[in-house]
Amino acid sequence: MTDRFAKRQKTASLKEQRQVTIGRIIFVLCLMSFVLCPAKAKAKAKADSIYCGTQLKLDIASPIVMSAANNWKIQHYELAVNVRLAKRFYPTFEAGYSGGHTTNDTILYRGQGGFFRIGADLCPFKKHPESPHALLVGVRLGTAAQQWQHPDYGTGGVRGDCWGEIVAGCQVEIAKVNKTSFYMGWMGRFKCLFTRTLTSAEKKTAPENLMDANPYMPAYIPGFGKRDNIGWGLNYYLGWRF
């Protein structure tokens, strides 16, 4: 009887120890869930606060504005992509195709090629972090490559040009369907051309003591406009954010 009673006590003691151990494990797991869940939520919220969406924009103003240029026939098509980071920062890539020629009785100049710009915009004013509207200022570095020809001068070839821009504008959300937002906005551009002189290849074809280098360089630069040291531009965009 004594041995049997001792075995029962030992069995009960083991059961109690198991129950205590299981209880401790459940308590630790619950504690870890309370600690880790907020940490995961904070990490997700932090990630969401950094990346706020990608936007695709189509320029609809340039083809209209450039088609009105005197004695010039210009085709210009441009797309832009930006990523909204940390609510206020917009790294941007812009690319397009442009070509133009002047004509009176005969074609005086023709050229066409592609271009792209890289840069970033910043919303300088403090606003509600969830607001889709923004006033923007930024910078761009642009480059273009084109084939060109001055038939009257017998000059032409392939040339690349580079320039910098200071930009300012705004964007406004006009509609939202599910998670896709639709925008409209404009961007003004102040441009400064960096490649202002003849290239080494162009100098070989130019005569000595050249007084006017214009016939030996493109008169129009894709993405920049008519060749000049300083230029201006205006884009009007329709955009989609996804």
Global pTM value: 0.75
Per-domain boundaries in the chain: 51-241
Q: Closest Cα partner for 192 from 165, 211, 219?
A: 165
Q: What is the pLDDT along the chain (242 residues), one digit of tens a residue?
A: 555 544 455 454 555 566 556 656 655 555 554 544 444 444 444 445 688 889 999 998 876 766 666 677 888 899 999 999 988 899 999 999 998 888 755 667 889 999 999 999 998 876 555 677 889 999 999 999 999 988 878 888 899 999 999 999 999 999 988 878 899 999 999 999 999 888 877 777 777 766 677 788 898 999 998 889 999 988 999 999 87
Report the pLDDT value the prediction gives residue 22, as an integer from 0 to 100: 60
| pLDDT given at position 30 | 52
Name the CATH topology of 51-241: Porin (2.40.160)
Q: Is residue 71 within 8 Å of 103, Cβ to Cβ? A: yes
Report residue 135 CA to chain centroid gap.
16
N-to-C CA span, the chain:
79
How many Cα atoms occupy the beta-carbon half-sphere of 8 within 13 Å? Answer: 5
